[in-house]
Amino acid sequence: MDSGVRETHFENGLKILTRELHNAPVATFWVWYRVGSRNEVLGITGAAHWVEHMMFKGTQNLGKGDVFKLVTRNGGVNNAFTWLDYTAYFETLPSDRLDIAIQIESDRMTNARFDPEEVASERTVIISEREGHENDPGFWLSEELQATAFKVHPYHHETIGWKADLQRMTRDDLYNFYKKYYAPNNATLVAVGDFDTDQLLDKLNASFGKIPRGADIPALTIEEPEQAGERRVTVRRPGAAPYFMAAFKAPRATDPDFYATMMLAGVLSGASGLAMGRTSPGRSSRLYRALVDKGLTADASVFYRPMLDPYLFQVSATARPGVSLEKIERAVLAELEKISAKPITDNEYEKVLKQTRAQYVYAEDGVANHGYRLGMLDVVASWRMYETFLENLEQVSKDDVQRVAKKYLAETNRTVGWFIPTNSAGENGKRLSKRDTRRKPQSKRAGASKKK
């Protein structure tokens, strides 16, 4: 597959990916910084996400709120989000207004103010955001599960950060984090849409090209020790229903086993096409049929995505009224044992491929999805993975799926989590949570402009 992507490098280390699409007079502009919560140390957890918030609080040239006003007044949308591996900003605008995105992003790459009063004000916002997450039993369980699964690697904390760190972090902590990681040599620009590439590169060189190269970012070489046995965690808090999770250490995006593990996730819970937030409903998947169709759980999902370092293959389910977590766990582990012991069927194999192809093609609608996939894959592996994703998935055999299931879904590689409601409604199972169990980056508001 030739995607028509052009890769350019400036002398200051900035990487630019451009793809012309002239079917509509619109363009999207992304800046991906190779920094996320994996780059934080204890004491400043949540810094990457907080810095993202501060990018909307004013620069030397733009006042507080001006980013949002500039984009909306010119018929566009903008957004930002932080994840374990990256922080990303984008604007999607009429193509003749793309200069606005260039102006905004080149300015805040170096000129964000971090006014002490705004930092203090945003502390309240960030802590409130975390407390909002704390209303979700899935957040509590996921946070405890993640901290239990990872003992050494900084994937052990959520992107939002620990509350104690949010309460004590200083303006200088945040500003120093910004100055270290927000530099052209630690970023990739992605532009997709109705523009002339040579003209766009001239504009980018006149703005981003003048920004000095930052200090080289040391590679994060921390490796999580091999897990030697099952780990378990139980969370007891008020909640609507009992909740089950099981997490397994899983291969990173550049690992040869990545595609087979993607196929494994598709068979268990429905395929993913790497689009922003889109996954298959998975109603014919193994876990859905074994759990939801049989009345054990209200939902069933697998979370697995391309990551820079080995992360988690995570199975989640919300209990139906009167169904014990013990019964749900037995049913989940039975399905994982089955797929480890016997090859998947031809029908399952073809179904996942068909779902993935459909989602991949569907995500070609709209320039923002192009910008997301190119930038995200470039951070965790290479943007060229965008061109070869379907081909590589088709190279996976049914035996490969069984092999990775047996390798990664092992008891010694497992961390199990139970959420047990302490309130009577949750214990009696009278109310069920209808939330989406898939993990999401912090601060992303899909389809809406960023309001800070």
Average the pLDDT over 286-311 and give the result: 96
**What pLDDT band is residue 283 in, cutting at 50, 70 and 90?**
confident
Amino acid in the structure at residue 271: A
Tell me: pLDDT of 445 over 80.
no
Q: What is the Cα–Cα distance from 154 to 152, expressed in whole angstroms?
A: 6
Concatenated DSSP letters for 255-288? STTHHHHHHHHHHHH--B-S-SS-B---TTSHHI
φ, ψ of residue 184 in degrees (nearest 5): -60, -35
Estimate the share of the chain in helix, then strand, then coil, as percent rounded to the nearest 5. 45, 20, 40
Mean pLDDT of 258-278: 84
* pLDDT score, position 452: 36
Residue 233 has pLDDT above 90, yes or no: yes
Each residue's pLDDT tens digit, 48-65: 999 999 999 999 999 999
| pLDDT confidence bin for 277, thresholds 50/70/90 | low
**Range 296-311 average pLDDT:** 96
Average pLDDT value for the chain: 92
**The two structure tokens encoding residue 33:** 């910084």
Q: What percent of the chain has pLDDT over 70?
A: 92
User: For position 438, what pLDDT does the model report?
Assistant: 41
How far is 88 from 32, CA to CA, in rounded Å? 4
Whole-number Å distance between alpha carbons of 386 and 72: 30
Kindly state the DSSP code that residue 56 receives in the 8-state scheme.
T
Task: Give the pLDDT band of residue 366 (cuts 50, 70, 90).
Answer: confident
72, amino acid identity: T
Q: Which of 238, 231, 227 is nearest to 408 (CA)?
A: 227
> What was the pLDDT predicted at 275?
60
The percent of residues in the chain predicted with pLDDT above 90, rounded, is: 86
* 419 strand-pairing partners: 235, 243
pLDDT of residue 258: 98
Residue 348 has pLDDT above 70, yes or no: yes
* Token duo for residue 330: 């037995």
Residue 358: pLDDT band by 50, 70, 90 thresholds? confident
Distance in Å from the first CA to the final CA of the chain? 39
Q: What are phi and psi of 314, to 5 degrees?
A: -120, 125
The pLDDT, as a whole number, for residue 272 is 75
Rounded to whole angstroms, the Cα distance separating 129 from 132 reads 5
CB 413 within 8 A of CB 336: no
Do residues 83 and 90 lie in contact, with contact meaning Cβ atoms separated by under 8 Å? no
Q: Whose CA is closest to 181, among 11, 20, 34?
A: 34
How far apart CA 91 and CA 364 sit, in angstroms, is: 18
Alpha-carbon gap, residue 446 to 452, rounded angstroms: 15
Beta-carbon contacts of residue 106 (< 8 Å; ≥ 6 apart): 207, 208, 211
Domains of the chain: 6-210 (3.30.830.10), 231-428 (3.30.830.10)
Residue 427 has pLDDT above 60, yes or no: no
Q: Tokens 């749900």 identify what position?
A: 328
Long-range contacts of 162-170, Cβ-Cβ distance < 8 Å, separation of 24 or more: 162/45, 162/46, 163/127, 163/130, 165/42, 165/43, 165/44, 165/45, 165/46, 166/46, 166/50, 166/123, 166/126, 166/127, 166/130, 167/123, 167/127, 168/43, 169/43, 169/44, 169/46, 169/47, 169/50, 169/123
How buried is 2 (Cβ within 10 angstroms: 0-12 exposed, 13-18 middle, 19+ buried)? exposed
With a CB cutoff of 8 Å and minimum separation 6, the contacts of 114 are 54, 57, 171, 174, 175, 178
